[in-house]
Amino acid sequence: MVWLTVLFVLIVAAGACLELWLAGRQIAAVRRHREHVPESFAARVSLEEHRKAAEYTEAKARFGRIGTVLDALVTLALTVGGGIAALDALWRHTGWAELWLGLAVIGSVAAVVLLVNLPLSLWHTFVLEARFGFNRTTARVYVIDLLKGIALAALLGAPVVLGALWLMMRAGRTWWLWAFGGWVVLTLAVSWAWPVLIAPLFNRFSPLADASLKARIEALLARCGFRSSGVFVVDGSRRSAHGNAYFTGVGRNKRIVFFDTLLEQLEPPEIEAVLAHELGHFRLHHVRNGLAVSIGVMLVAFALLGWLARQSAFYAALGVPHPAPHAALLLFAFAAPAVLYFATPVSAFWSRRHEFAADRFAAGQADARELVSALVKLYRSNASTLTPDRLYTAFHYSHPPAVERIERLLHG
């Protein structure tokens, strides 16, 4: 089955080369338009701000190239390079039962990936983001966040891994169907618990204190038929100068969350318009439809994993000589993203369509000009490029490019 190994290596290499090429196109596009603000933004964005966005975009693209190469090398090293097999052989010297052996191997691979990517994370936070004035994370906050993330991953991940491995060893050929059902339950449980139990471990959430703004928001929620457990402000400024707003949670635990940095930048009518856009996703069932598609995709993924786990050629082709449940999980975790990368334009296109639809909804519930004003401020303060490359956008932009989005809001 050498051809399977060659095919996998070609897929990983092709994905990396395509990503590097797209990054090059993005860099060339922002450089080409660096000295010219798009006409529709000329009165709203200064040339200096436009140049900063170009420099920031180029810096991120160059940094992303390093991550692309590193990801490809790690994927190949751990699979066909024998990394997973070596860790498996090392842990087998302990004589542990297969269940605990599998947990140890998976945990070791996760630790290797974390350590390899740690320097990139540090550089991104304390060099790249700091260079452009966005980083507000201190070394202490960074370390605490890292330790909390590891602890949370261990507390939630270990039982999940053990459960999956137990099903693979004891539930027969239909183990994947039981595992899929468990994944659905876990996903819904985490979504429900996230706003009140998990997110507060990393940030402080305070009820919106501005009475007039709160009244304005509550009136908008009533018009849109949306019920939530409250409107909250998160201390995003502790880590970054970037602004954002989002919905989180399911059922009675739905929350509307504004970054404090966003509230500092926008006026009440602009905040209302931004929230109307987010409510559009709810009213147009984008969240529900996205969850349904995600569940459908995961059902296919679990079924495919259930079949691959029984194929000795799958293990041999990806560098593992001895089939084992934990090896199947790890190999699939590395192989699936490499293959699915080529489908990202489909999901990105679907997401951009949803953003356009949410903009139209917002224009019907609030003043479209206020949404335009808010978007311009966010593009400007976040140093978002106004001139991205078309193909790079197709792969990586979940939101429409600024010029196209503003034109549609103003002229339909």
Nearest-angstrom CA–CA distance, 21 and 24 = 5
- Would you state the torsion angle of the CA atoms of residues 261, 262, 265, 271, taken in this order, to the nearest 10 degrees? -160
Q: With contact defined as beta carbons under 8 Å apart, do 99 and 158 qualify?
A: no
CA 18/CA 79 separation, integer angstroms:
21
**Strand pairing partners for 233?**
206, 258
Residue 245: strand pairing partners: 258
Residues, the chain = 412
Asked if 278 is an active-site residue, the reply is yes
| φ, ψ for residue 259, nearest 5 deg | -70, 140
Which residues are CB-neighbours of 181 under 8 A, at least 6 positions away?
none
Single-letter code of the amino acid located at 81:
G
Q: Return all residues near 149 (Cβ < 8 A) that are at least 6 apart.
A: none
Q: Return the ∠ at Cα 143 (arms to 142 and 147), rounded to 5°.
A: 120
**235 included as an active-site residue:** no
312 φ, ψ (degrees, to nearest 5): -60, -30
Question: Could you give the CA distance from residue 338 to residue 317 in angstroms, rounded to a whole number?
Answer: 15
- Three-state DSSP at 392 gives helix
- Report the relative pairing of strands 205-207 and 231-234 from DSSP bridges: antiparallel
Burial tier of 35 (Cβ tally within 10 Å: 0-12, 13-18, 19+): exposed
Select which of 278, 355, 370, 389 is catalytic: 278
Expressed in angstroms, the distance from the first to the final Cα of the chain is 55
Give Cα separations from 22 to 16, 65, 117, 279, 393 (angstroms).
Answer: 10, 10, 22, 33, 9
Closest CA to 203 of 244, 161, 171: 244
**How many CA within 13 A on the CB side of residue 152?**
14
Cβ 178 vs Cβ 210: under 8 Å? no
Q: Which of 58, 71, 129, 359 is catalytic?
A: 359
Using the 8-state DSSP alphabet, how is residue 80 labeled?
T
List the catalytic residues. 278, 359
